[in-house]
Amino acid sequence: MGSEQADDVVVVGGGVIGLTTALVLAERGVRVRVWTRDPVEGTTSAVAGALWWPYRIEPLVLARAWALRSLDVYEELAARSEPTGVRMVEGVMGETDLDEAEAWASARLPGLRASTAEEYSGSAIWARLPLIDMSIHLPWLRERFLKAGGAVEERTVSDFTEVDAPVVVNCTGLGAHELVPDPSVRPVRGQLVVVENPGIRTWLGSTNAAGEMAYFFPQPGRLLLGGTAEDDVWSAEPDPAVAEAIVRRCAALRPEIAGARVLGHRVGLRPVRDAVRLEREPLPGGRVLVHNYGHGGAGVTVAWGCAEEAAGLASS
């Protein structure tokens, strides 16, 4: 690609995948604009529980590599947790096999071990993982991107041919369902309940025999309770009955949650695909479209690894 093209990229999508990809490009000296339908605070990423762990994402081998690269970055950002929103927090991952976890993560996760019976009644691991406060992290990403010379515009794209740039990066998540169009991208609905934290400092995630999820993540000033994974449900409206069930399942794990005051309800639609789509596609007129979508429930987990790969495809 010529020098004129090398400094003009439009990233479509302003969630964590789009912002991180745009930031990597901008810090490599590329002139980048982000076109986002919603303000950063209104994206699916904004309601993510945001514990670092490859969840509902394929292909798993690649996802783990992207996740470990992202872990490097999050560990650095956790040294400045106040501005970045990233902290390293200990907790229990229920119904998780230690041998499998050790096979790919032990070299990078010191202290990874089997949990005790007091910590969790079934098979589980104890780990210290990045926990990201998205209400802080997304605005921080945006500010770092703007400081690197990038620009963010609220624009709705109905066709990639509308985008006036030699290189377009598609980070539209669930929006790719209609925009590409790619019918294999589908929503997996997740609901959260935000409560006052009754003093819980560790996180926990589990799935019971009936396939019901329960997790809680301590964030500054609040505790996030989850969750659900409803395939092909497009509704973003919180369901009161689902919220009650979430609180009940979490309180079964930590009884003090039962009396916690509810602060709010959130719904996010995870953009699940059989496999992440991360590849180049030629457009008419010699332009290039780079796809980076389909990260399911692990967008935050793999954001930096995927961003670096997408940036390489955009500038090669």
148 is annotated as contributing to ligand binding:
no
Specify whether the CB–CB gap between 82 and 139 falls below 8 A: no
pLDDT score, position 6: 41
Separation CA 66–CA 70 (nearest Å): 6
Count up the domains in the chain and report the number: 1
Helix, strand, coil percentages for the chain (3-state, nearest 5):
40, 30, 30
What is the rounded average pLDDT of the residues 70-78? Answer: 98
Mean of the per-residue pLDDT values of the chain: 95
Predicted structure pTM score: 0.96
pLDDT score, position 56: 86
Question: Nearest to residue 32, comparing CAs of 12, 8, 6, 1?
Answer: 8
Three-state DSSP class for residue 12: strand
156 is annotated as contributing to ligand binding:
no
pLDDT class for 7, splitting at 50, 70, 90?
low
45 is annotated as contributing to ligand binding:
yes
Q: Over the stretch 112-142, which tens digit does the pLDDT of each residue have? A: 999 999 999 889 999 999 999 999 999 999 9
298 is annotated as contributing to ligand binding:
yes
Residue 3 has pLDDT above 60, yes or no: no
Separation CA 263–CA 257 (nearest Å): 13
Question: Nearest to residue 40, comparing CAs of 116, 125, 143?
Answer: 143
Q: Is 41 exposed, middle or buried (0-12, 13-18, 19+ CB in 10 A)?
A: middle
E strand or H helix that includes residue 146: helix 134-147
What is the rounded average pLDDT of the residues 64-75? Answer: 98
What is the rounded average pLDDT of the residues 179-203? Answer: 98
Question: Nearest to residue 84, comparing CAs of 125, 155, 134?
Answer: 134
pLDDT score, position 160: 94
301 is annotated as contributing to ligand binding:
yes
Angle at 92 between CA 88 and CA 95, to 5 degrees: 140
Specify whether the CB–CB gap between 306 and 292 falls below 8 A: yes
| Whole-number CA gyration radius for the chain | 19
Q: Over the stretch 212-245, which tens digit does the pLDDT of each residue have? A: 999 999 999 999 999 999 999 999 999 999 999 9
Residue 82 has pLDDT above 80, yes or no: yes
**Domain of 298, in residue numbers:** 3-315
215 is annotated as contributing to ligand binding:
yes
What is the rounded average pLDDT of the residues 75-99? Answer: 97
Where residue 276 sits, what CATH number does that domain have?
Answer: 3.40.50.720
pLDDT score, position 310: 98
Residue 2 has pLDDT above 60, yes or no: no
User: Which residue is listed with tokens 């930031």?
Assistant: 23
Question: Nearest to residue 302, comparing CAs of 20, 14, 9, 33?
Answer: 20
Angle at 121 between CA 107 and CA 124, to 5 degrees: 15
For residue 80 the two structure tokens come to 């400045």
pLDDT score, position 315: 87
297 is annotated as contributing to ligand binding:
yes
Residue 299 has pLDDT above 60, yes or no: yes
Q: Give the residues across from 186 on adjacent strands.
A: 272
Residue 147 has pLDDT above 90, yes or no: yes
Q: Give the residues across from 85 on adjacent strands.
A: none
pLDDT class for 209, splitting at 50, 70, 90?
confident
172 is annotated as contributing to ligand binding:
yes
pLDDT score, position 233: 97
For residue 92 the two structure tokens come to 């229990």
